[in-house]
Amino acid sequence: MKLTQEIKASLQKHQKVISIQMDVHHINSFTQKFKKFIFKGSRWYQEEQNIKSINTTFKEPFPDNLLQFMNENNCQTREKEVLVGYEDLSYNEVLSQLIPQNIQPPQGFEIIGKIAHFNLSPEQLPYKYLIGQVLLDKNKNLQTVCNKLEKLHNVYRTPQLELLAGKDSYDAVVNEGGIKLNLNFEKVYWCTRLYSERERIIKFIKELSKDQKIQVLDLFCGIGPFSLRIAKDLDAQCIANDLNPECFFYLKKNITENKLQNQVIPLNMDARDVVLKIYDKQLEFDFNHVYMNLPVLAINFLDVFKGYTQKTGKVELPYIHVYGFAKGKDEAELIDQFQQRIVQCLPGFEKTQILNFHILKNVTKMKKMCCLSFQLDKRSAESDFGLLEQQDENNNSDFEDDEKDEENQQIEEVINKKVKID
């Protein structure tokens, strides 16, 4: 269903309003007190010399403060009929008239620069173009409205988007914590709502590091929000790496535009290779924090830190902040799952090393996205078993399959509330 001129015209109707008439000298004081009751789009109408009127949304009986104002300033009221159409109605008012009552107009969407993106439910899909066009018309700051077609299944975690209304362009500029980030929402991973999670980890790293110089290996960096922010906020040195060449393009641009060339080194390779190159001294970089934000697979890369001490000659062990999905009814069960998976990669890992466990969001009732922070254990770091075979990247398929089933399940966002429509 598309928004046609006929559909817009069908929304036109006459509506009764209360017009209030007063001496022009009282207009400012009336507007200050009762601005929110002025009928949308209504202008002051010249009734006679020095007398103007305005249409309002007041209904009888009038509130006491209005009655008092009218008495004090000798105002008159009159009932009037006005023609109300598409332009005068809000997003919710339009959609609640155009889509069936049993279907909720979508109330949450994410804004990325001038792009708004929905995750429409199957019942809302037949009305997707209508929803998109109304949102665009009612938000002058937007240029593009799209819908995310499915969950992120590909290696680069990029979404499949369908244009609903506006410009077919997914270039965006986002400001986060004083950093300017360029991106293309179709070509790279981006999630505005991870803002508070980046804040949390930066604060936590600051506490852990005391006054020590912070050196971060950001192995799955996307377009670089974490590295750029920690470089700016904590004067950290970072390697920011992502396998996606499009991320690399924007990462370099973002480093340059934020003038962080001396602190952030951009790389475009497999995460495991970055660490191996550091071990081989092909890359010179000492790190004391590893940030691993690829929830679907990151834990499988942990085996690369086995034998860390022999390979680097360093006794001080790095802190690792690793994301993952786990299923459980409470934190203890979730931690158990993380532990079982981590121990396959780092045989010496024990729960006592956990410094922080944080649940970011409930994907379903049982499945959560979490972040576990720990310090690499001495036994794994000193182990001479060498690297394990590369972990089977499908051994997380349980979780991938679940993601497909999730389409109809309510996703309970707890990172941050989605932007609400007025």
Ligand X SMILES: C[S@@+](CC[C@H](N)C(=O)[O-])C[C@H]1O[C@@H](n2cnc3c(N)ncnc32)[C@H](O)[C@@H]1O
Burial of 181: CB neighbours in 10 Å, binned 0-12, 13-18, 19+ = buried
Does the protein bind ligand X through residue 113 (CB under 6 A)?
no
DSSP letter (8 states) at residue 306: T
Does the protein bind ligand X through residue 194 (CB under 6 A)?
yes
Region from 68-76, 159-167, 170-178, 236-244 binding ligand X, contact rule CB under 6 A: 236-244
Region from 155-163, 200-208, 258-266, 375-383 binding ligand X, contact rule CB under 6 A: 155-163
Q: Is 47 helix (H, G, I), strand (E, B) or coil?
A: strand
User: Would the annotation count 293 as a binding residue?
Assistant: yes
| Shortest separation between residue 271's beta carbon and ligand X, angstroms | 4
Nearer to ligand X, 33 or 153 (CB): 153
Region from 86-94, 222-230, 275-283, 302-310 binding ligand X, contact rule CB under 6 A: 222-230
Does the protein bind ligand X through residue 225 (CB under 6 A)?
yes
**Inter-residue contact 77 to 406 (CB < 8 Å):** no
| Shortest separation between residue 367's beta carbon and ligand X, angstroms | 16
Nearer to ligand X, 70 or 274 (CB): 274
Beta strand 215-218 pairing with 179-184: unpaired
| Shortest separation between residue 157's beta carbon and ligand X, angstroms | 5
Sign of CA dihedral 294, 150, 160, 128: negative
Does the protein bind ligand X through residue 294 (CB under 6 A)?
yes
Rounded CA-CA distance 323/36 in Å is: 46
Neighbouring CB atoms inside 10 A of 317's CB total: 20
Which residue from 164, 175, 181, 366 is spatially nearest to 264, judged by alpha carbons?
181
Nearer to ligand X, 222 or 318 (CB): 222
- Vertex 314: Cα angle to 309 and 319 (nearest 5): 80
Nearer to ligand X, 53 or 241 (CB): 241
Which residue from 203, 198, 193, 187 is spatially nearest to 227, judged by alpha carbons?
198
CB environment 127-150: b (16+ within 10 A), e (fewer) = bbbbbbbbbbbbbeebbbbbbbee
Out of 128, 157, 367, 418, name the contact with ligand X by CB under 6 A: 157
Does the protein bind ligand X through residue 44 (CB under 6 A)?
no
User: Would the annotation count 147 as a binding residue?
Assistant: no
Does the protein bind ligand X through residue 243 (CB under 6 A)?
yes
User: Would the annotation count 398 as a binding residue?
Assistant: no
| Shortest separation between residue 101's beta carbon and ligand X, angstroms | 38
Beta strand 108-112 pairing with 419-420: antiparallel
User: Would the annotation count 141 as a binding residue?
Assistant: no
Encoded tokens for 258: 């934020």
Chain positions contacting ligand X, by CB under 6 A: 155-157, 189, 194, 219-222, 225-226, 241-244, 247, 270-271, 293-294
Which residues participate in the annotated binding site for S-adenosyl-L-methionine?
Answer: 198, 242-243, 270-271, 293
* Residue numbers belonging to the annotated binding site: 198, 242-243, 270-271, 293
